[in-house]
Amino acid sequence: MSSEFRAHGSGYSHATAATPRAAALAFFEKYPTKRKCDVIEGETDGHFFTVTFGRASSRGWRDITKKTAADLPA
C-alpha cells in the first residue's frame, strides 16, 4: 500500500495523486465545471482507496477552490 491524496467532489468525481496540491489540480483539470473539492490522505491498494479515520497522521482539507489549490502542500 502507498500513501496518496484524493480530491473528491459531489457525485462520483475524484482524482488521486501523490501530493494534496497535485490531487486538487488534477481534480479541477478533470472536472472544470466543479467549484470546490475536499482533499484527504489515504492509501491505495490496487483499485481501492482507503482512509483510516482517527489516525493521527491522516490529513485532510475541506472546501478547496481552484484559487486555494495552489496553497496546498506540494
Per-residue pLDDT tens for 14-73? 999 999 999 999 999 999 999 999 999 998 887 888 887 776 666 899 999 999 999 999
SS3 content of the chain, % helix, strand, coil (to 5): 20, 40, 40
Tell me the helices (H) and strands (E) count for the chain, helix number first: 1, 5
pTM: 0.88
Domain boundaries, the chain: 2-71
Q: Given this model, what pLDDT does residue 55 score?
A: 60
